[in-house]
């Protein structure tokens, strides 16, 4: 079982504060499925403007967090070097079901569906506790820096 802590995630993802949106990875099904975790705190910079009186994590950042989980996972299992960078190719069927609030632990379940011609397809679901809060189909590729 692959488990990446924050120091290991920083080695495989180019993202840094304030855009690094995953704190830990745990492999669930070897080569196929991974859980990623994000501890959502009131100190997140996006809460200053989204929304000051009712802080809600933006849905687009939940999708980005799922993509970072998938990118970090594929970087490890396919041994993608640091001379390459992950790019989104597409996002389909994105749905946002419940708000994510300060104090929540966002658990992202990302499943690798296919890899063809350098394009990776994922199914992503985000949960707070047992409640599904968002889901999307994601596509990404790795390109030279």
**Catalytic annotation, residues:** 50
CB 73 within 8 A of CB 141: no
Beta-sheet strands, E only, within the chain? 3-4, 24-29, 33-39, 84-96, 105-116, 119-128, 131-144
Sorted by sequence, the CB contacts under 8 Å of residue 113 that are 6+ apart come out as 121, 122, 123, 137
Q: How far is CA 21 from the centre of its chain?
A: 7
Burial of 48 (C-beta count, 10 Å sphere; 0-12/13-18/19+): exposed
CA count, 13 A, side-chain hemisphere, 43: 3
């Amino acid at each position: 079982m692959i488990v990446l802590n924050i120091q290991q995630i920083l080695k495989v993802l180019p993202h840094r504060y304030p855009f690094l949106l995953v704190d830990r990875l745990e492999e669930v099904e070897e080569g196929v499925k991974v859980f990623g975790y994000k501890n959502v705190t009131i100190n997140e910079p996006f809460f200053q403007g989204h929304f000051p009186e009712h802080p809600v994590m933006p849905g687009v950042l939940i999708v980005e967090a799922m993509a970072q989980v998938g990118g970090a996972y594929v970087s490890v299992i396919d041994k993608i070097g640091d001379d390459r960078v992950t790019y989104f190719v597409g996002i389909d069927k994105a749905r946002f079901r419940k708000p994510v609030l300060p104090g929540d632990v966002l658990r992202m379940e990302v499943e690798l569906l296919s890899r063809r011609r350098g394009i990776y397809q994922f199914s992503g679901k985000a949960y707070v506790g047992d409640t599904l809060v968002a889901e999307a189909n994601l596509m990404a590729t790795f390109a030279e820096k």
